[in-house]
Amino acid sequence: MKVVKFGGSSLASGEQLKKVLDIVTSDSERRIVVVSAPGKRNSDDIKVTDLLIACGEDQLAGEDAADLLETVILRYSDIASELELSEDVVSEISENFYSLLYADQKDPLRYLDGLKAGGEDNNAKLVAAFFTKEGYAARYVNPFDAGLILTDENGYVEVLSESYQRLYELRDQKEILIFPGFFGYTADKEVLTFSRSGSDITGSILANGTKADLYENYTDVDAVYAVNPNVVNQPKEIKELTYREMRELSYAGFSVFHDEALIPAYRAGIPVQIKNTNNPESEGTKIVNERKNNNGPVIGIASDKGFCSIYISKYLMNREIGFGRKLLQILEENYVSYEHIPSGIDDITIILREYQLDRETEACIIERIKDELHADEIEVQHDLALIMVVGEGMRHNVGTTARASQALAKEKVNIEMINQGSSEVSMMFGVKAKDEKKAVQALYQEFFSEVAAIIV
């Protein structure tokens, strides 16, 4: 059995939904279909989820967003019209959206979750109606009824373990099941959404729960590329990579697949196949537990902006018991999370997401580090980009770090920070954000050009 998920671009129009129908019905093993909300029809378009967020924010600000909601409903109406669905389908969707728009706002976060989730929920109903109209046994499945129960008690949305046992019962269903992505319910039947692009997570959870043989994720590209195609022309396609490699690449900016979505599939040992709705014959990219390292040390290069660093130096820091704990406690008490902590014997650097460090928070943290930890030197650097060089093969190749450093030096890119994970699957370079593109191009030239291939 296969669980198959389609992203927003695959569901943006009636024409796209016809492609989805052909893909699903061409393989009888594709029995659970996870859908996103309709995405962009062109580069100037707006995603339905973004429109719904705007509706919710307007309502919470005391404005009536009915006109904007009509724009959302029109998107579904246009798709239904293209597919020649009955007006009852659109009427049901319209009624549901208005009930969500004018729902109780006493908990703004829950209110927004409910409204956002309506994008996927109503699209699943529309897709199910289309499949049925075309003569296939298909039905919409509500996540609560299926047993997808979530909690956010630890500060982020988690699946309760008993959910997987309940979801296994979906295997017994004979119809094609159309399941809305992006959200589930608490035990009290309140809607909880995952982070953006969370439909990937839903698909992975369902693959785990139903013990699927394969989780297929359809998007609008033929494969995962070795580097962002907006930075390097016609980059190399990756045919196969491991969960760990994909996790590192997704974290550092690869948007093809949500990084959190790997966890349920990884734990169940279910391979993930990324394919293109617009070119389903293309092989795509497969994510597996293990692969043969026959491509050289590096499988991919990713980058992301929006970071800053706090550098702290103190003589004999390594002998001071509790220094690290006290430092992290200062961050915790300022509601700041960290990304990485490269360190030496007398210094340590905290890498943070830039948006967390406004002027007031930064001043408070610096003052407390001075007063409570008596640091000799503190320096904050803003506008950093992190470049991630990833590959299982790096564990078996000597000199990969030297090659990367030399490639950056040749292009006169100054390395602000370097860190290699203990798994040796990735190495990370911190550079000025203005040098991000130049750094990625230099690294790609080093590891993926014809000259580099000969060296390997």
Residue 222 domain-assigned? Answer: yes
Looking at 267, 288, 309, which one is the last position of a domain? Answer: 288
Residue 394 is part of a domain; what is its CATH number? 3.30.2130.10
Tally of domains in the chain: 2
Report the DSSP beta bridge partners of residue 275: 218
Looking at 231, 259, 288, which one is the last position of a domain? Answer: 288
Residue 295 domain-assigned? Answer: no
Q: Which two tokens stand for residue 66?
A: 């009915």
> Are 254 and 310 within one domain?
no
Residue 62 is part of a domain; what is its CATH number? 3.40.1160.10
Asked if pLDDT for residue 441 goes beyond 70, the answer is yes
Q: What pLDDT is recorded for position 262?
A: 84
**Interval 282-292: pLDDT, tens:** 999 999 988 87
Residue range of the domain that includes 352: 300-455
Consecutive H or E run containing 368: helix 359-373
What's the rounded Cα separation, in Å, for the pair 317 and 306? Answer: 29
Tell me the CA end-to-end span of the chain in Å, nearest whole number. Answer: 39
> Are 7 and 92 within one domain?
yes
What's the rounded Cα separation, in Å, for the pair 331 and 350? Answer: 10
> Are 185 and 266 within one domain?
yes
> Are 266 and 325 within one domain?
no
Helix, coil or strand: residue 324: helix
> Are 268 and 362 within one domain?
no
> Are 8 and 153 within one domain?
yes
Residue 440 domain-assigned? Answer: yes
Q: What pLDDT is recorded for position 392?
A: 87
Pairing state of beta strands 347-353 and 285-288? Answer: unpaired
Instruction: Tell me the pLDDT band of 451, cut-offs 50, 70 and 90.
Output: very low
**Interval 228-274: pLDDT, tens:** 888 998 899 999 999 888 888 887 767 677 777 888 999 999 999 99
> Are 271 and 317 within one domain?
no
Q: What pLDDT is recorded for position 293?
A: 63
Show binding-site residues for ATP: 219-220, 225
| DSSP string over 178-205 | EEE-SEEE-TTS-EEE-STTTHHHHHHH
Q: Which two tokens stand for residue 452?
A: 């580099």
- Cβ pair 373, 320 in contact under 8 A: no
> Are 258 and 331 within one domain?
no
Residue 294 domain-assigned? Answer: no
Q: Which residues of 344-360 are buried (b: 16+ CB within 10 A; e: fewer)?
A: eeebbbbbbeeebbeee
**Interval 57-86: pLDDT, tens:** 999 999 999 999 999 999 999 999 999 999
Looking at 288, 314, 342, which one is the last position of a domain? Answer: 288
What's the rounded Cα separation, in Å, for the pair 246 and 302? Answer: 10
Residue 293 domain-assigned? Answer: no
Percentage above 90 pLDDT, the chain: 77
> Are 385 and 271 within one domain?
no
> Are 53 and 193 within one domain?
yes
> Are 21 and 139 within one domain?
yes
What's the rounded Cα separation, in Å, for the pair 312 and 12? Answer: 49
CA–CA distances in Å: residue 121 to residues 38, 89, 183: 11, 13, 9
Show binding-site residues: 219-220, 225
pTM: 0.85
